[in-house]
Chain A
Amino acid sequence: MWGWMGVVKLLSKFLQKKAPSDKSTSKPKLKNKRVSIESIKQELADVDDVIYKNIRTPKGPVTVIYYSSFVDNQVLHQTVIAPILRQDETVIHASEKIDLNDLPHVLSLITTGHTILFLHTQHVFYSINTFSAESRSIQQTETESTVIGPQDAFTESLDTNLSLIKRRINNPELKNKTYMVGTETNTKVSVLYLSNLVNQDNLKRIINKLEELEYDGFTDITVMKQFIEDHPMSPFPQYNSTVRPDMTMKYLLDGRIAVMMDNSQSVIICPTSFLELFEPMEDYYNRWMTATLLRSLRFFGFFVTIILTPTYISALTYHPEILPFELLINLQESRNRVPFPPVMEVLFIELVIEILREAGSRMPTKIGQTLGIVGGIVIGTAAVEAGLISNMLVVLVAISALLSFLPSSFLMSNTSRFIRYAFILAAGFFGLYGQMIALAWLFIHLLNLTSLGTPYLTPGIPRNWTDLLDSVLRAPSGLLKYRKGIARSKEKQVGPLNEE
């Protein structure tokens, strides 16, 4: 066991170096080879989109090597070939001369879209960045759309995403440190922070975590997120993730750290508190009263959605006396034909709703509509008429299904779906007592969670009292004068202190 841990630590030490040199440790044979057309050809054998183009120039032959899938022909012609043919020396001056002993570096340049020039007469290699692969343009987000506020969203290109942030924060204090993750994929990860605001401990922690990562490759940043969370076993997402540049900007200004990954649209923000997963950007664009109303709706909605149907179970199974007489009669009448105990009934319909949601989410829109109608009519009406479930329960389940979509973070809304089952079972076993035990469990779990070493449940347990101004309540923007306690920022106050 301990020996294994030692191995892991050693490996993570290796990973702290840059990726190319890491590759050289894994493939020592590359180190001995010199850079030449032959050695490159040998290493890139069977990679059929590498182009070796020989150009005859007045000063002797030149070989151009590039990935045709990464480099647009027109770009190549404009930036490389035309100047060479014109004997324009600037292209040579502007490019980087390559160390002939560093073959891995050359290979990594080619695989990231650089063009390699080989001047036969002088026997030197140059590299020029000609990466011009197609990427998606900046579009609106569908997952986190707002009515007011900026509409642009991140794309899958890291450079575009960085530019979206940097055009909002024109400040040299905004740093973006790049790391390589994925032992096979060499994916770029960028850590963004404002160096005059960020808490150095937090920064060290996230960088350590990134450096210790050892995995083949991450298909999306959400996968990587699960590796670098403090408590991977928890059902709760411990870092916020967003595709909105304005939200990222807001948290950066708060002294948080944003982590971007190439080829993934969303950005993770750390540390994050539980409550912040209920706060979409629109809260800050709305008037404060509206925002407060909507925020409390979302926050309490989370608790209602996990408690509503369980309460139905406990009321009907164990404590019918907690309901007023008329309501109880009403309930009993609505389920007088239902032959199952309330737990089975609730589990059945909740599962049906999950099935509908899951089936609908992967269908094309047209079929999805049909599914909705089938689900609505068959489940809503026919199941009730068939005596499988009660009317009242359909209403409750529909409400709790709607409520579960309220949190702004999609992961949080999924979590609430999951937790509800724990509550349903607890209510089935012990009624209200079971529900309270489950609630206690939930709170203890939340209290013990940390996000990057900071308590997750702030400002439930406030770090600063000023946090409460921007919690369930959203005070008028002018009053939000202090950064959040969870960020542990170097400068507590927003903006300059008094002018005097």
Chain B
Amino acid sequence: MDNNKLKKLNGYHVVFLVQNSMIGLGLLSLPQQMSSMGYSQWWLPIMFGVIANLSLIPMIWIVKRYPKDNIFTINEKLVGKWLGKLLNIVLILYLILFISSILEGYLDLIQIVALPDRTIITPLVFFFSVLLYVVHGGIKSIARFCIISFFLTGWMALFLYWPISHGDISHLIPVSNFTWKEFLTASRNGYYSMVGYELILVFFPYIINQQKAFRQASIGVWITVFFYLAVTIVSVMYFSEWQMTEVLYPILKLFQEVELSFAERIDVMGISLWVMLLLSTSAAYLWASKKGMDSLRANNKTYHMYIMAILIFIFINIPFSKEFQEMLYDRVFYVKFAIILWPNILILLHLIRSGRKRAKS
């Protein structure tokens, strides 16, 4: 059966894996994150798309040189065994932290919007049982789930019709009404929701057609950019500048604008349906962290996945102070930034190494 082969991801799988590991919790607060730029923020997603696409090039370049290895084993090969392992531990910690941050954010939101008189423990347990079920099927199962969750959630973009009809298109100009500092803050905060495509460093060995992987990943990135662009443009049209900075989850506000004769407060439904996006994102990350654990222990065991899940579960339930947590999740951003730039250093190491090899022979 096709599950036993190493190469199992076809083009659609790659596109939607990349796309769905990017869209997650970040989209809910994207316009607010970029609000320091005010109304001029709407074209930022395009810039993010270009940056993401550019940073994909070194990633694909390095993994193509090692078509059977993921980032963890490449690290060990290029940086050295022990230093590589150390780096991998940091990477795994980052993955765990990242999953905890999005899960915690999402469940807080669920608690506020949908289940006001509940603690988050039981919803979390249910979430984890489903999450483990996805990851248990391996990367192909995750990829398939990504496709399904795209179609189950993508149609919600239609709800933007109501805010558009209430919005003012003149908000879109001028496009350059900001200072450099504002621009940097907005892009720093906004880029948070772009990350996710770096997981291709982990699942690249499983892609059937590795030559086309760059194109497929780029398509995934630009689908994400399309959604982000739609949301930011509509928010810019709909909100006032004050609202943009103050409304924490602008998407939910946009959903509330929807007027249907048989349903009100679409945001409750929307935030519940968002669990699909959260599941696909965190499943991809959890799988990646499991792969990291595999390479650390140099064997492939299913229980590594459970260890990771338990770590995340414990981490979410440790009662840190809100300040510490925010600080921590904020610092995660720099790790993320480092990871996106890390392939460049790997390329350098690779060139040095291959140069040395050539000199030897």
Contact = CB atoms under 8 A, between A and B. Distances in A.
A321 B272 contact: no
B275 interface: yes
Given A430-B115, A432-B114, A444 B275 contact: no
A433 interface: yes
A450 B272 contact: no
Contacts of B266: 322
A342 to B, nearest CB: 15
B130 A444 contact: yes
B330 interface: no
Contacts of A325: 264
A321 B265 contact: yes
Contacts of A453: 1-2
Nearest to B2: A453
B134 interface: yes
Contacts of B122: 429-430
A433 B110 contact: yes
Interface class of chain B by DSSP? helix
Nearest to A450: B1
Interface string B93-132: 0000000000000000010001100100011001100100
B248 interface: no
Nearest to B144: A447
Contacts of B263: 322-324
Interface string A450-493: 10010101001100000000000000000000000000000000
Contacts of A323: 263-264
Q: Is the interface of A mostly helix, strand, loop or mixed?
A: helix
Given A318-B115, A453-B1, A437 B130 contact: yes
Nearest to B261: A324
A240 interface: no
A448 interface: yes
Interface string A393-418: 00000000000000000000000000
A434 to B, nearest CB: 7
Nearest to B134: A444
Contact of B130 (A327, A431, A441, A457): A441
Nearest to A325: B264
Interface string B120-157: 00110011001001100100010011011100100000
A396 to B, nearest CB: 13
B324 to A, nearest CB: 27
Contact of B264 (A324, A433, A434, A437): A324
A455 B263 CA distance: 36
A496 B130 CA distance: 47
A319 interface: yes
A435 B144 CA distance: 20
A447 B141 contact: yes
A173 B118 CA distance: 64
A440 interface: yes
A430 B130 contact: no
Q: Looking at chain B, what size class is its interface with the partner chain?
A: 35 or more
A327 B262 contact: yes
Nearest to A201: B1
A318 B269 CA distance: 12
Contacts of A439: 152, 276
Contacts of A445: 133
Contacts of B279: 440
A184 B336 CA distance: 65
Contacts of B145: 440, 443-444, 447
A447 B272 CA distance: 21
A436 interface: yes
B147 A319 contact: no
B268 interface: yes
Interface string B1-16: 1100000000010000
A322 B265 contact: yes
Contacts of A435: 272
B2 to A, nearest CB: 7
B54 interface: no
B115 A431 contact: yes
Given A324-B264, A453-B2, A433 B141 contact: no
B273 interface: yes
Contacts of A430: 114-115, 118, 122-123, 126
A437 B1 contact: no
Contacts of A431: 114-115, 272
A183 to B, nearest CB: 28
Contacts of B264: 321-325
Contacts of A324: 261-264
Most chain A CB atoms below 10 A, which of B133, B149, B264? B264
Given A324-B263, A440-B276, A443-B145, A319 B130 contact: no
B349 to A, nearest CB: 39
Contact of A444 (B1, B12, B115, B133): B133
A441 B133 contact: yes
B164 to A, nearest CB: 22
B269 A322 contact: yes
Nearest to A443: B148
A5 to B, nearest CB: 18
A440 B128 CA distance: 12
B145 to A, nearest CB: 6
Interface in A206-239: none
B72 to A, nearest CB: 26
Contact of B144 (A322, A433, A437, A461): A461
Contact of A319 (B123, B133, B265, B273): B265
A437 B265 contact: no
B1 A432 contact: no
Contacts of A318: 114-115
B144 A436 contact: no
Given A431-B114, A432-B268, A440 B130 contact: yes
A143 B184 CA distance: 68
Interface in B250-264: 261-264
Contacts of B2: 453
Interface string A300-329: 000000000000000000110111110100
Given A437-B275, A440-B130, A450-B1, 16 more contacts: A321-B268, A322-B263, A322-B266, A323-B263, A426-B126, A430-B114, A430-B123, A432-B269, A439-B276, A443-B148, A444-B133, A444-B145, A447-B144, A457-B144, A461-B147, A461-B148
Interface of B: 1-2, 12, 110, 114-115, 118, 122-123, 126-127, 130, 133-134, 137, 141, 144-145, 147-149, 152, 261-266, 268-269, 272-273, 275-276, 279
Interface of A: 318-319, 321-325, 327, 426, 429-437, 439-441, 443-445, 447-448, 450, 453, 455, 457, 460-461
Enumerate the 3 nearest inter-chain pairs by beta-carbon distance, A residue then B residue, closest first.
A432-B272, A447-B144, A453-B1
7 contacts: A321-B268, A430-B122, A431-B272, A436-B273, A437-B130, A444-B137, A447-B145
